[in-house]
Amino acid sequence: MMRLPRISRDTAIKQWNAHDAGEGTLSLNGELDYIGDEAFPQLNDIELEDLMEGLDSVRQKYDYQYPDGFPKSAGGRIESDMVAPVHKCLSTIATPAQLCDIGFWRWLSNVANNGYFWNFVDWRFKERNQINWAITSSRNLKETLFFRCWLRGHRMYDASRADPYEYAKKGTGDFWRSHILRTDLGKDRTFVEAFLDFNFAPDGTRHISDKKLRAKLIPGLRAWASMGRFSHLSYEECTEIIALIWESENS
């Protein structure tokens, strides 16, 4: 494990503005703090080279497919492709407790590797909402791009599968953010697997439109979840409950 750099919100905003103005990375003398035991080595840019290589592959894939700029519909697929490289790299250098500190994600998204990650977020989002650069509150950390990708891997990584990230990558970024990470439905891993399979075919196509999902299935699931948890149920039982709620809401 390593000690992770951490910066304040004010420092992150100042650095964001500098990159936006084309001024590059600012000197952060006295503005860097660290997360982790002092006996650990400090994280440096070299440790993030594998992550950068993985993100470069993601970007090249979509730049090749959409040379004139990718459509909004591709954004969720980009995040699914980001999950494995983000989780694989960061989980080998830090603990989950360290990676739940928003100060690290502010540093990664705005300072690290001379703004490499800032530019990646800028490429990913056409709308320039700073929350995607972790310039937000700790409460809204799951709204930020890189933490959200790491969290998907952290929750769903399964070494027993041929692809340990099978379920972490399944589904779009918007689906995860709206229906799993923002809600109590995402707390039970087996339910999430059943929920993803119910909504997405193996090739990634949707079984249920987003409109019907929001209007029909989600309200029924929330009503059921208000009376109990899915944690004690098997995958088959979760699937049966989801199917029954879907049928009842559409009858």
Give buried/exposed letters for 219-248 (b at 16+ CB in 10 A, else e). ebbeebbeeeebeebeeeebbebbeebbee
**CA 74, 116, 91, 53 torsion-angle sign:** positive
Please give the distance of CA 56 from its chain centroid, rounded to a whole number: 17
Decide: 12 and 104 in contact? Cβ < 8 Å: no
At residue 200, φ and ψ (nearest 5 deg) are: -130, 135
pLDDT in tens, the chain (251 residues): 899 999 999 999 999 999 999 999 999 888 999 999 889 999 989 999 999 999 999 999 999 999 999 998 899 899 999 999 999 999 999 999 999 999 999 999 999 999 999 999 999 998 899 999 999 999 999 999 999 999 999 999 999 999 999 999 999 888 999 999 988 888 889 999 999 999 999 888 888 888 889 888 988 888 888 777 787 899 999 999 999 999 987 76
At residue 47, φ and ψ (nearest 5 deg) are: -65, -15
Q: How far apart are CA 211 and CA 20, in angstroms?
A: 36
Q: Could you state, in order of their start, the residue ranges of all structural domains in the chain?
A: 4-169, 183-251
Q: What is the pLDDT of residue 73?
A: 85
Q: How far apart are CA 221 and CA 226, in angstroms?
A: 9
Q: How far apart are CA 50 and CA 29, in angstroms?
A: 27
Please provide the size of the chain in residues: 251
Q: What is the pLDDT of residue 230?
A: 81
Q: How far apart are CA 62 and CA 249, in angstroms?
A: 37
